[in-house]
Amino acid sequence: MSETTVPARVPMTAAAVPDEPRKLDDVMLAMDVVDTLRHRTRIVDMELNEEAREEQLIARLKEIYGAQGIEVPDRILKDGVKALAEQRFVYKPPADTFSVKLAKMYVSRKKW
Protein backbone atom coordinates (compact mmCIF):
# COMPACT_ATOMS: atom_id res chain seq x y z
CA MET A 1 0.00 0.00 0.00
CA SER A 2 1.16 3.43 -0.72
CA GLU A 3 1.57 5.75 2.10
CA THR A 4 -0.28 8.97 1.85
CA THR A 5 0.02 11.68 4.32
CA VAL A 6 -2.95 13.49 5.62
CA PRO A 7 -2.35 16.96 6.87
CA ALA A 8 -2.73 17.14 10.59
CA ARG A 9 -5.67 19.11 11.87
CA VAL A 10 -4.65 22.28 13.49
CA PRO A 11 -6.76 22.97 16.55
CA MET A 12 -8.61 26.25 16.28
CA THR A 13 -7.94 28.73 18.99
CA ALA A 14 -10.71 30.65 20.68
CA ALA A 15 -9.84 33.75 18.67
CA ALA A 16 -10.06 31.85 15.39
CA VAL A 17 -13.56 30.44 16.10
CA PRO A 18 -16.08 32.55 14.27
CA ASP A 19 -18.81 34.18 16.34
CA GLU A 20 -21.28 34.14 13.45
CA PRO A 21 -23.74 31.58 14.87
CA ARG A 22 -24.07 33.51 18.10
CA LYS A 23 -24.48 36.79 16.27
CA LEU A 24 -27.09 35.26 14.00
CA ASP A 25 -28.96 33.92 17.03
CA ASP A 26 -28.89 37.38 18.59
CA VAL A 27 -30.17 38.95 15.40
CA MET A 28 -32.94 36.37 15.04
CA LEU A 29 -33.96 36.87 18.68
CA ALA A 30 -34.04 40.64 18.24
CA MET A 31 -36.12 40.27 15.07
CA ASP A 32 -38.56 38.03 16.92
CA VAL A 33 -38.93 40.58 19.72
CA VAL A 34 -39.46 43.41 17.22
CA ASP A 35 -42.05 41.39 15.27
CA THR A 36 -43.90 40.52 18.47
CA LEU A 37 -44.00 44.15 19.58
CA ARG A 38 -45.05 45.29 16.12
CA HIS A 39 -47.86 42.71 16.07
CA ARG A 40 -49.08 43.78 19.52
CA THR A 41 -49.06 47.42 18.47
CA ARG A 42 -51.08 46.59 15.37
CA ILE A 43 -53.65 44.69 17.45
CA VAL A 44 -53.97 47.59 19.88
CA ASP A 45 -54.38 50.04 16.99
CA MET A 46 -57.06 47.85 15.43
CA GLU A 47 -58.99 47.69 18.70
CA LEU A 48 -58.72 51.43 19.26
CA ASN A 49 -59.81 52.22 15.71
CA GLU A 50 -62.77 49.85 15.70
CA GLU A 51 -65.33 52.65 15.37
CA ALA A 52 -63.44 54.20 12.46
CA ARG A 53 -63.26 50.81 10.75
CA GLU A 54 -67.00 50.31 11.18
CA GLU A 55 -67.67 53.74 9.67
CA GLN A 56 -65.36 52.96 6.74
CA LEU A 57 -67.12 49.63 6.19
CA ILE A 58 -70.54 51.30 6.25
CA ALA A 59 -69.33 53.94 3.79
CA ARG A 60 -67.94 51.25 1.49
CA LEU A 61 -71.19 49.27 1.66
CA LYS A 62 -73.18 52.41 0.82
CA GLU A 63 -70.88 52.97 -2.14
CA ILE A 64 -71.29 49.41 -3.40
CA TYR A 65 -75.09 49.38 -3.06
CA GLY A 66 -75.32 52.90 -4.50
CA ALA A 67 -73.36 51.81 -7.58
CA GLN A 68 -75.95 49.07 -8.10
CA GLY A 69 -78.82 51.52 -7.65
CA ILE A 70 -80.01 49.95 -4.40
CA GLU A 71 -81.05 52.25 -1.55
CA VAL A 72 -80.19 50.74 1.84
CA PRO A 73 -81.01 52.58 5.09
CA ASP A 74 -78.16 53.30 7.51
CA ARG A 75 -79.93 51.29 10.22
CA ILE A 76 -79.75 48.12 8.11
CA LEU A 77 -76.07 48.67 7.33
CA LYS A 78 -75.26 49.26 11.00
CA ASP A 79 -77.15 46.10 11.98
CA GLY A 80 -75.21 44.14 9.37
CA VAL A 81 -71.86 45.44 10.61
CA LYS A 82 -72.90 44.69 14.19
CA ALA A 83 -73.85 41.12 13.22
CA LEU A 84 -70.50 40.75 11.50
CA ALA A 85 -68.70 41.90 14.65
CA GLU A 86 -70.66 39.38 16.73
CA GLN A 87 -69.53 36.64 14.34
CA ARG A 88 -73.13 35.66 13.79
CA PHE A 89 -72.34 34.23 10.37
CA VAL A 90 -69.37 32.09 11.41
CA TYR A 91 -69.86 28.34 11.25
CA LYS A 92 -69.49 26.68 14.63
CA PRO A 93 -69.49 22.89 14.48
CA PRO A 94 -71.76 21.12 16.95
CA ALA A 95 -70.31 19.88 20.21
CA ASP A 96 -69.01 16.33 20.06
CA THR A 97 -71.89 14.77 21.99
CA PHE A 98 -73.12 11.19 21.90
CA SER A 99 -75.85 12.00 19.40
CA VAL A 100 -73.36 13.73 17.09
CA LYS A 101 -71.11 10.67 17.25
CA LEU A 102 -74.06 8.43 16.37
CA ALA A 103 -74.94 10.65 13.43
CA LYS A 104 -71.34 10.56 12.18
CA MET A 105 -71.29 6.77 12.45
CA TYR A 106 -74.56 6.56 10.52
CA VAL A 107 -73.31 8.82 7.75
CA SER A 108 -69.95 7.11 7.42
CA ARG A 109 -71.27 3.54 7.32
CA LYS A 110 -70.43 1.59 4.18
CA LYS A 111 -73.83 0.04 3.55
CA TRP A 112 -76.93 2.13 2.89
pLDDT band per the 50, 70, 90 thresholds, residue 84? confident
* pTM, rounded to two decimals: 0.44
User: Higher pLDDT residue, 45 or 74?
Assistant: 74
What is the overall mean pLDDT for the chain? 80
CB contact at 8 A, 72 and 65: yes
The pLDDT of residue 12 is 56
CB contact at 8 A, 74 and 65: no
pLDDT digits (tens, 9 = 90+) for 18-53: 555 567 788 888 888 888 888 888 887 777 777 888
Q: Which residues contact 53 (CB under 8 A, 6 or more apart)?
A: 46
The pLDDT of residue 75 is 92
The pLDDT of residue 67 is 92
